[in-house]
Amino acid sequence: MRLTFLGTGTSFGIPVPGCRCAVCTSDDPRNRRTRHGLLLEDGGRKLLVDTPPELRLQLVAASVDRLDAVFITHAHADHVHGIDDLRAFTTRAGYRLPVFLASEYEQELRTRFAYFWGTDARSSPGTTVPGLDLVTFEDRDRLEVAGMELDVVAFPHGWFRSYGFRVGDLAVIVDAKEIPDDAVPLLRGVRVLVINALWYGHPHPTHFNVEEAVEVSRRLEAGTTYLTHLTHRLDHADLEERLPAGVKPASDGLTIEI
């Protein structure tokens, strides 16, 4: 399985508009972070995780020419507001794309994107809309997605829940604040863990900070952990030096084999 980090930034992205901090003005390309997105490839099949606002640019940068399915972690804007960019695939190739989403977010997204998921969805003459089919799931479901078996887990995210999964030796946890105790056996021992981490220091009410993410990695006995959903308070090179062995910062465009 191949994992590509399409975007590794938090909801603001980096550089943050109007900010002149050291990270936002850095010459290190690893400090330029678009909003969260992942691409999983296995057996010739491609699964996209989240559709952030920069999705078109991310897909072009990664030379993605087709997709087989999409998994949405939750309905916050930085994770879904690039979804119309999927139109490029469904229009050109003439196929409909399954989009997997927790049932608790179905009505919200059908309302927000009513022009292609609403009861009166249709395109005007000479225009197109994304050909997307919503497939809903529940916490702890096992899904067959693009030829991959995903064990889904809901993680507390403030007043909301964000959905991650384990697929083979990979676990993906994004926008989480806690790991449910009864999910630990399912996630324990993965070779690769992807997890959100905002910054060092004071805790955030809805996301892990770096120290908390490192502790989760230890608790799950993960092989290598990649931190993502990073803010402009974290310089890539500095983070590399400070992190313990086996924990690394992800960066946009990073590809690893699992």
Among residues 58, 63, 56, 78, which one has the least CA distance to residue 174? 78
Rounded Cα distance between 215 and 86, Å, is: 36
Rounded Cα distance between 186 and 171, Å, is: 10
Tally of CB atoms within 10 A around 63? 6
pLDDT at 138: 98
pLDDT at 113: 94
For the stretch 27-76, pLDDT in tens is 999 999 999 999 999 999 999 999 999 999 999 999 999 999 999 999 99
Rounded Cα distance between 7 and 162, Å, is: 17
With a cut of 80, say whether residue 18 has pLDDT above it: yes
The tally of domains found in the chain comes to 1
With a cut of 80, say whether residue 120 has pLDDT above it: no
Q: In b/e form, how buried is each residue of 120-134, taking b as 16+ CB within 10 angstroms?
A: eeeeeeeeebbbbeb
CB 232 within 8 Å of CB 12: yes
pLDDT at 11: 96
Q: Mean of the pLDDT values across residues 92-108?
A: 93
Assign 213 to helix, strand or coil: helix
First to last CA, the chain: 5
Return all residues near 124 (Cβ < 8 A) that are at least 6 apart. none
With a cut of 70, say whether residue 123 has pLDDT above it: no
Rounded Cα distance between 214 and 218, Å, is: 6
Q: Tokens 């999910």 label which residue?
A: 183
DSSP H/E element including 18: none
Q: Mean of the pLDDT values across residues 132-153?
A: 97
With a cut of 90, say whether residue 26 has pLDDT above it: yes
With a cut of 80, say whether residue 125 has pLDDT above it: no
Structure confidence at residue 258 as a pLDDT band (50, 70, 90): very high
Rounded Cα distance between 50 and 99, Å, is: 10
DSSP H/E element including 247: strand 247-249
pLDDT at 73: 98
Tally of CB atoms within 10 A around 245? 6
Token output for 143: 């899904």
Rg of the Cα atoms in the chain = 18
Return all residues near 94 (Cβ < 8 A) that are at least 6 apart. none
For the stretch 194-239, pLDDT in tens is 999 999 999 999 999 999 999 999 999 999 999 999 999 999 999 9
With 0-12 CB in 10 A as exposed, 13-18 as middle and 19+ as buried, what is 256?
A: middle
Share of the chain above pLDDT 70, in %: 98
Residues of the domain holding 17: 2-257
CATH label of the domain that carries residue 103: 3.60.15.10
State the DSSP code for 36: P
Q: Is the pTM of this model over 0.85?
A: yes
